[in-house]
Each structure stands twice: as structure tokens, then as C-alpha cells.
């Protein structure tokens, strides 16, 4: 039988120590568990979380309203529902939510996403297929091992002084997973040696260091790479998350926003372009930039792409993992505004929608990547998603946090089946 017999839910805690819903879908095949990662940065196209907004309850970040929605609104409707067709499950979740803009404003993406994740696990088990292979079949993609990207230094909303949210390290070219993990381990050891273990780790797993400009961080970062003997073997990807520092009307950027000890500095889009060009020129190890501008700052994004031809521009905030935004940015009047679609589950709140976005990118010959969220749990579903969708890169976070290591360990298990 492939019907849901019960849905259980409870509050567990994410990497930031905040409550988030965990659900268990029960069928005749077993119990299938999933938990909702939490995000800190949103655009008006992203799905929204349902939080208690009660200051005395986890500073407003409580999840009891969401758990109540699962118990009283979702469970009665989905109990007895056949999980064979994930599209029908997710369609029913949309009907329960009833949000006119499809952003899960009633039940919350922190309810819809773990339900969707657990149902697709149940369906894969019913079909006796490994989860990543089942996702690959649904998406009509070729499963492959992505290059994992590890956050070595954190800034921005990940916790740090610079506007760049995460400084990722990844292998150049395709090399075996274990070799990539060994290289990162060597680099991590070198960092701890040079910092003399006197450092703080962000909730995404990156090191938080004293350098307070992007230029200074990159100087230190490239020095670590050379000291570890990895010069030329690894590249740097900057996740700028420019939405977090942008004035959406003026298209200006507060580059000192996360440094309370520096005077407020707001610069224009043209000055941001100059900054990025200078960074890429001075640091040839930079291979990509994610979200360098506000997601509707089309002109500056197009101008940057024309000036940094050897550096790719990825889009995560600009796409919000929505299928309709892929052709919008790839065939924009100002030209192609991104060379890679970075998918994040929390943006759309349903796995069927994630799969649609991946399929659309494939149709348009645009590669994809998959990223984790700021508030992760030990759930490893996202590792199967990255492999199943045939992602080029998988943005894991830093391996100084166990919730991130769980994803890497799952990649190692999956590698034995590929």
C-alpha cells in the first residue's frame, strides 16, 4: 500500500538553536522523516515561513503555529492520500494553503517542505529505488556527483564582518569525492594551525575571522590555500547575497552593513561593478560570484557579466528556485543574467516545484547547483537532491558543523551507488 496512514510532527532544533518542524509520514512501507531547514534571507518571490511571532516564545521564532497547521489542516486531508504521485501531493498542499501568490503564507514553507520531502522518500521506498535515483527519474536528469563547495570563511548574515555572506572553496575540475574531501581537510587543518584554534565558527560552518574587508579576507584565504599546497587545485566562489545589503529602489549597496565598527558606506551599482572587477583581477582563484546584485538590478548585473568573462555569475536569490524565473533571467532583454541556477528548497517549499525548475534549466541548457540553508538540521535529503538533479555544485557550508558533515557523509554513501 502506498497510502499515508498517519502524519506525526514535533519541534526539533536547527543549527541556530531555533525550533523547526519535523514530520513523519507513515505508510505500509514504513516511517519516513524529514525536517524543515530555515532560511535568513528572502526575496518577495520566496515562500515564507510560518512563525509564532511571539516575543516571549523563542524571540518570535517559535514554530507552534506551523506544527498546529500540520496537525489540524494538513494531516486530516492527506491521511489516506496516495503518495505515488508527488505532483498530486504537492498540489493538495497548495490547495490547503490557499495563498493567492503561492508563497505558502498560510501553512508556511516550514510545513509544506518537510511534508513534501517525506512523501517523496515514501514514494521512492514504495518503488524500491534509492532516493537520488528516484529524484533523477522524476526530473529526467542524469544523476551525478556534484563538486561540493565548502564555506571556509563566513560573513554577512552567516555571521561575519564583510558583506560577502560566504567564501566557498571547491575543486577545479572533476576529481574523486574522497580526494576533494581530503583537500578540504588539509586546508581546514592549515587554517586552524594559522589561527592557533582561536576562532569562532558561524552557524553555516565557516570560520569567522577578524579581517573586515573582502579584499583582506581574500588575501588571507589565498594565503591559506598556498600554505596547504592547493594553489591551482581549488577555486573560490563568493556568495555575495546582495539582496541583504541593497536599497531596492535606488540600487545602491551598503557594503559596511555587517561591521558595526565602521562608518556607514553606501556605494552605487557602478562602484560595485568596479569592486567586483578589481577583486576578480587581483584574485584569479575566483571562479564564480553568486548574487552580486539585487535580484531586480538587471542593468548592473548585465554590465558585470560583460566585464568578468572568465568568472561565472550564479543566481540564487534572483531565481528563487521558481520555474517561471528561469527563462525570465536567461532570455532577458539585457541578455543572459546568470550562467547557473542555484536551487534552494526553502524558496519554493515543494519538491515538485524544485524538480520543475531543474527541468526548465535543463531544457534551456543552463547548469544548476543546489545549496543548503542557513538553519540546517541533520536531515540529508538535500544531498540526494543535489545528486539526483545532476547539479554541478553542491553548496554544503563548512565542515566545522555536524549538520553540514551529515550531508557530506551522505554524499560518500551515495557515491558507492553511482
Which positions make up the binding site for Mg(2+)?
239
Q: Which cell numbers in the block locate residue 293? A: 546584485
Helix (H, G, I), strand (E, B) or coil at 291: coil
In order, the DSSP letters of 252-268 are: EEETTTT-TTS---EE-
Reported in sequence order, the residue ranges of 28-92 that DSSP labels E, i.e. its strands, are 30-35
Partnered with residue 393 across adjacent β-strands are 147, 369
CA distance 105 to 170: 36
Rounded Cα gap, residues 172 and 390, in angstroms: 17
Distance between CA atoms of residues 175 and 169, nearest Å: 14
Q: Are 292 and 307 in contact (CB under 8 A)?
A: no
Q: Give a three-class secondary structure readout of 347-414.
A: HHCCHHHHHHHHHHHHHCCCCEEEECCCECCCCCHHHHHHHHCCCCEEEEECCCCHHHHHHHHHHHHH
Strands of the sheet containing 6-13, edge to edge, are 6-13, 19-27, 30-35
d(C-alpha 15, C-alpha 403), whole Å = 7
Q: Which three cell numbers stand for residue 237?
A: 566562489
Which among 260, 264, 157, 278 has a CA at the least distance from the CA of 214?
Answer: 278
State the pairing for strand pair 200-201/252-254.
unpaired
* Binding residue ranges: 239
Which DSSP category does 160 fall into? S
Query: Three-state SS for 328?
Result: helix
DSSP state letter for 305? H
**Strand partners for 150:** 169, 397
Amino acid at each position: 500500500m502506498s497510502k499515508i496512514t498517519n502524519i506525526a510532527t514535533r519541534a526539533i532544533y536547527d543549527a541556530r538553536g531555533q525550533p523547526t518542524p519535523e514530520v513523519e509520514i507513515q505508510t505500509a512501507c514504513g516511517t519516513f522523516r524529514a525536517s524543515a531547514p530555515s532560511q535568513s534571507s528572502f526575496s518577495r518571490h520566496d515562500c515564507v515561513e510560518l512563525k509564532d511571532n511571539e516575543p516571549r516564545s523563542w524571540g518570535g521564532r517559535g514554530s507552534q503555529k506551523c506544527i498546529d497547521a500540520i496537525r489540524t489542516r494538513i494531516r486530516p486531508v492527506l491521511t489516506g492520500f496516495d503518495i505515488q504521485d508527488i505532483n498530486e501531493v504537492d498540489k493538495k498542499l497548495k490547495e490547503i494553503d490557499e495563498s493567492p501568490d503561492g508563497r505558502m503564507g498560510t501553512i508556511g514553507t516550514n510545513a509544506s517542505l518537510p511534508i513534501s520531502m517525506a512523501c517523496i522518500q515514501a514514494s521512492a521506498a514504495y518503488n524500491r529505488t534509492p532516493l537520488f535515483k528516484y529524484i533523477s527519474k522524476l526530473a529526467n536528469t542524469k544523476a551525478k556527483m556534484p563538486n561540493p563547495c565548502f564555506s571556509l570563511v563566513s560573513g554577512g548574515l552567516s555571521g561575519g564582518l564583510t558583506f560577502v555572506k560566504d567564501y566557498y572553496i571547491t575543486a577545479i575540475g572533476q576529481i574523486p569525492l574522497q580526494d576533494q574531501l581530503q583537500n578540504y581537510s588539509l586546508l581546514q587543518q592549515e587554517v586552524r594551525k594559522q589561527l592557533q584554534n582561536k576562532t569562532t565558527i558561524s552557524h553555516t560552518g565557516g570560520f569567522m575571522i577578524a579581517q573586515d574587508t573582502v579584499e583582506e579576507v581574500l588575501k588571507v584565504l589565498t594565503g591559506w590555500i598556498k600554505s596547504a599546497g592547493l594553489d591551482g587545485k581549488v577555486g573560490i566562489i563568493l556568495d555575495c547575497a546582495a539582496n541583504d545589503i541593497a536599497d531596492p529602489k535606488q540600487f545602491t549597496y551598503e557594503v559596511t552593513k555587517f561591521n558595526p565598527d565602521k562608518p556607514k558606506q553606501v556605494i552605487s551599482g557602478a562602484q560595485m561593478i568596479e569592486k567586483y572587477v578589481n577583486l576578480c583581477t587581483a584574485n584569479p582563484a575566483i571562479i564564480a560570484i553568486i548574487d552580486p546584485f539585487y535580484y531586480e538590478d538587471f542593468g548592473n548585473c548585465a554590465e558585470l557579466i560583460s566585464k568578468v568573462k572568465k568568472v561565472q555569475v550564479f543566481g540564487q536569490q534572483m531565481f528563487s528556485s521558481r520555474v517561471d524565473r528561469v527563462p525570465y533571467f536567461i532570455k532577458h532583454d539585457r541578455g543572459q543574467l546568470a550562467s547557473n541556477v542555484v536551487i534552494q528548497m526553502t524558496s519554493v517549499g515543494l519538491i515538485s516545484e524544485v524538480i520543475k525548475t531543474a527541468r526548465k534549466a535543463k531544457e534551456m541548457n543552463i547548469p544548476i547547483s543546489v545549496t543548503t540553508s542557513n538553519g540546517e538540521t541533520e536531515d540529508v535529503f538535500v544531498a540526494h537532491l543535489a545528486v539526483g538533479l545532476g547539479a554541478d555544485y553542491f553548496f554544503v557550508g563548512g565542515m566545522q558543523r555536524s549538520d553540514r558533515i551529515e550531508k557530506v557523509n551522505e554524499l560518500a554513501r551515495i557515491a558507492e551507488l553511482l
